[in-house]
Structure 1
Amino acid sequence: MSPAPRITYRAVLGTPYVARLLGGTLTGRLPNAMAPIGILLWITGSGGTIAFGGLLAALYGLASALSQPVKGFLMDRRGQRAVHLPAAVLNSALLIALPAAGPYGGTAVTATLAIAAGLTAPPLEAGLRALWPRVLPEHRLRHAALALDTGTQGLLHILGPVLVAALATAYSPALALATTAALGLAGTLVVATTPPSRRWRPRPAQSEDGAARRLSSGPLVALFVALLGVGFALGALTVWAVSMARIHHTDILSGLLPAAFSSGSFLGGLVYGRRTWPASTSRQLRLGSAAFLAGWLPLLALPGPHAATATVMLPGAFLTVLVATAYVTTDVLAPAHRTSEAYAWLILSIGVGQAVGTALAGRLAEHELFLPALPAAGALFTLAVLSVARPGHIPRPVGRHRRRRT
């Protein structure tokens, strides 16, 4: 049998609401990449310590990640608009209030505002994943949209830090945070006012959503546990990049290496999304995780700056394959009436792993020979869990075969 013909991204983006939803979500999620750096720059620019600024930035990111399942749960019961709009308004107001209230409050007030801002970050990523089956009922177009969506996430971590740093340097950290708030609110409004988001409601619970398809089912839990390793690798990458910059006395490497990884993810997503693949989702997960691990191994040879920048694109290219397939698997295994919550748990798993990877790599920062091995260790953990548990051991889905949405 000849392979299915390639699809075009023009066809995907030309489908009603796709470009608007994708663009609005990317814009609305820019605060995820901008706010932590903006908070850090505001603290240090106001005379605070880097340690305190880093703590606030970490609290913001951790609060945002930990609150994802709660917001996904609420979306599955109240709809997307009822969650997105209040969350975006509160998040924007708190980011603006942070520098305004800073001089009048102590560290406790500042930390409370940062945590509250993270807790109220709108769950746009989980919401968008829940919309794709409705907006793109044709499974091949949806496959391409999911790959494009996942691949372009890396652009957030390239554009966001550069934009907030430029605004803070040219004007002030307070303006950078205000711009962050405005972008988050504007992007959320674009998404929440689209008809698919306004009308979206989950399917009612059905008899098929019994013990085999609980969020606590073994295959789904195994998948979420495996994704901790992916997040761990991403967190360790950030610290390794800073270490490389210090070793080679080239500050730009701290941003260039993550940017090269994100570029590889974007390019890999473009290639992956143009075809549907014959392997089952279980096999795609294992192959993707094996390739993700293999991509990190050349770093163990301690390459120089130029070689490292080129090499780090390899694991990035397979990140999209792994994460996109994980979303498809989650979609099939999760109950139909709890898809948003399931996606939120997936996001949380990667976020927690990233925090652990960053923390452990930071503790080992003085042991420069160990740092390149940490991303590979995270990828090895993912492959081991997926190989043993085999979540998603089902035939390749030709769409959302267990439930159709109209």
Structure 2
Amino acid sequence: MSLTAPPAPRITYRAVLGSPYVARLLGGTLTGRLPNAMAPVAILLWATASGSGIAFGGLLSALYGLSSALAQPVTGRLMDRHGQSAVHLPAALLNSALLVALPASGPYGGPTLATALVIGGGLTMPPLEAGLRALWPSVLPDPRLRHAALALDTGTQGLLYIVGPLLVAALTSAYSPAVALTVTAALGLVGTTVVALAAPSRRWRRASSTSLQSPSVRRLTSPGLVLLFVSLTGIGFAIGAMNVWSIAMAEHHEQDMLSGVIPAAFSTGSLLGGLVYGRRTWTGTTANRLIAAGSVFLAGWLPLVALPGPLAATVAVAVPGAFLTVVVACAYVTTDALAPAGRTSEAYAWLILAIGVGQSAGTALAGRLAEHPLASAALPAVGAAFALTILLAARRRLGPTGQPPRGRLRGRHTTP
């Protein structure tokens, strides 16, 4: 008579959220990251309301997003060296103060001061996303719970870009863009404080000076990581191109709501995909899952080339949205496996930067091609095809196979 181990209990999101600190860290991070979605819109509305014009407002909005993306690797490295709370709290205070000061800059400093405040606000955005990903191994030692938390974390990010712009629009309509900026600053400060004062964040210690000087920690340019980050620029390119294409669709069909409905459908797909992905324990290698998800992500964009109508287009974008969460979650796991232990947060920040740079490039090129319907509709697939091509070329360099990612706690390796 053979005895077999009983199957492991099914992972539920109630179990994940019921684990110590998970709900606080996830909720605080989502609240603290709302300025990522709110500030660019609030800045644009403030600039146009103050008479600066939509062109200048668009420039300020783009500068905020670009500067916050470029600062991520620097703030990530500072976290690895000095701890999370030591970086989060000062950054949140500065970011909030600069956003609140922006409406007062118009009568005094003019465009130059406004530009400086916006860039400063972007550069001081707290690195909450990278910080949360670095905390999961210590908060959830069980790799199955950690897998579900990462999928939930990644999937719910889409909510930021649904709730954030709507909240700004409501505040601006009821009060003014200045009030919207003030609320944006307050939400960022409150959310960051909730995270930074939580015990896991306060206990996160910098890597020792000895380990930071070791050759393995100095190198953050392994071929696998570099190729992974390059591929993720294609993922970001697809997202940026889709946002502009949705505006072009709205103008072509004279339905203004499409510019918000299509990205909302994409984000909803991302949320649902994350919920489904996180509830299962997957076999095989992370690299294979990453490539499979990238393949479906590409396939999901292809129907747009047929120039579908508004309803069909809205439904179609939910498919690549659903697999975006899988791609990003697997990318984080792969980054964790390949990055040196003393530079985990910085590696996560480079991942975020890669997607952000790609998104900016996709937005810029799609804007130039917006008057050409076929080219505009094909751009998301072009970005996804680039990402998949790089992933296929990098398959053998994407880390250990068949093993769960190694965890990290306080700058050192841990075993889940």
Bin the TM-score by the shorter chain: over 0.9
Aligned to 1:404: 414
Name which of 72, 78, 86 aligns with 2:90: 86
Pairwise CA distance, 1:179 = 0.2
Do 2:150 and 2:278's aligned partners in 1 also have CA atoms closer than 8 Å? yes
1:162 is the counterpart of 2:166: yes
CA distance in 2, matches of 1:10, 1:156: 21
1:237 is the counterpart of 2:247: no
Normalised to the residue count of structure 2, the TM-score between the two structures is: 0.94
Name which of 263, 270, 273 aligns with 2:275: 270
Deviations 1:353-373 (A, max 9, x none): 000000000011111121111
CA distance in 2, matches of 1:31, 1:393: 34
In structure 2, the CA distance between the partners of 1:315 and 1:213, relative to structure 1 (3 Å rule), is: farther
CA distance in 1, matches of 2:114, 2:44: 12
Q: How does 1:230-379 map to 2 (within 5 A)?
A: 230-379=235-384
In structure 2, the CA distance between the partners of 1:210 and 1:349, relative to structure 1 (3 Å rule), is: same
Do 1:202 and 1:336's aligned partners in 2 also have CA atoms closer than 8 Å? no
Aligned to 2:197: 193
Normalised to the residue count of structure 1, the TM-score between the two structures is: 0.97
CA distance in 1, matches of 2:206, 2:260: 40
Pairwise CA distance, 1:5 = 5.4
CA distance in 1, matches of 2:223, 2:255: 46
CA distance in 1, matches of 2:345, 2:206: 9
Q: How does 1:120-159 map to 2 (within 5 A)?
A: 120-159=124-163
Aligned to 1:224: 229
CA distance in 1, matches of 2:217, 2:95: 37
Aligned to 2:72: 68
Runs of 5+ consecutive residues of structure 1 not aligned to the other structure? none
Matched pairs, number: 406
Do 2:231 and 2:388's aligned partners in 1 also have CA atoms closer than 8 Å? yes
CA distance in 2, matches of 1:213, 1:291: 36
Aligned to 2:120: 116
Pairwise CA distance, 1:276 = 1.9
Aligned to 1:14: 18
User: Which runs of at least 4 in structure 1 moved beyond 2 Å after TM superposition?
Assistant: 1-6, 202-207, 209-214, 396-399
Do 1:137 and 1:399's aligned partners in 2 also have CA atoms closer than 8 Å? no
AA aligned to 1:307 is A
CA distance in 1, matches of 2:10, 2:327: 20
AA aligned to 1:397 is Q
CA distance in 1, matches of 2:309, 2:281: 37
Pairwise CA distance, 1:383 = 0.3
Do 1:147 and 1:321's aligned partners in 2 also have CA atoms closer than 8 Å? yes
Aligned to 1:395: 401
Deviations 1:23-65 (A, max 9, x none): 0000000000000000000010111211100000000000000
Do 1:150 and 1:323's aligned partners in 2 also have CA atoms closer than 8 Å? yes
Pairwise CA distance, 1:396 = 2.6
Runs of 5+ consecutive residues of structure 2 not aligned to the other structure? none
1:182 is the counterpart of 2:186: yes
AA aligned to 1:229 is G
Do 2:69 and 2:353's aligned partners in 1 also have CA atoms closer than 8 Å? yes
Do 1:133 and 1:405's aligned partners in 2 also have CA atoms closer than 8 Å? no
Do 1:30 and 1:183's aligned partners in 2 also have CA atoms closer than 8 Å? yes
Q: How does 1:207-218 map to 2 (within 5 A)?
A: 210-211=215-216, 214-218=219-223
- The alignment-based identity, stated in percent, is 69
Q: Which moves more between the two structures, 96-105 or 248-257?
A: 96-105
AA aligned to 1:24 is G
Deviations 1:159-217 (A, max 9, x none): 0000011101110000000000000000000000100000112454659x755993111
Do 1:39 and 1:56's aligned partners in 2 also have CA atoms closer than 8 Å? yes
- Find the residue that maps to 1:372 and give its secondary structure: helix
In structure 2, the CA distance between the partners of 1:398 and 1:117, relative to structure 1 (3 Å rule), is: same
Pairwise CA distance, 1:290 = 0.4
- Find the residue that maps to 1:365 and give its secondary structure: coil
Pairwise CA distance, 1:107 = 1.1
AA aligned to 1:396 is G
Pairwise CA distance, 1:301 = 1.2
Deviations 1:377-405 (A, max 9, x none): 00000000000111424223334269306
CA distance in 2, matches of 1:210, 1:66: 25
CA distance in 2, matches of 1:305, 1:134: 45
Q: Which moves more between the two structures, 182-191 or 279-288?
A: 279-288
Pairwise CA distance, 1:4 = 6.1
CA distance in 2, matches of 1:54, 1:3: 54
Do 2:195 and 2:201's aligned partners in 1 also have CA atoms closer than 8 Å? yes
AA aligned to 1:383 is L
Do 2:237 and 2:358's aligned partners in 1 also have CA atoms closer than 8 Å? yes
In structure 2, the CA distance between the partners of 1:46 and 1:244, relative to structure 1 (3 Å rule), is: same
Do 2:95 and 2:121's aligned partners in 1 also have CA atoms closer than 8 Å? yes
CA distance in 2, matches of 1:358, 1:398: 36
CA distance in 2, matches of 1:364, 1:184: 35
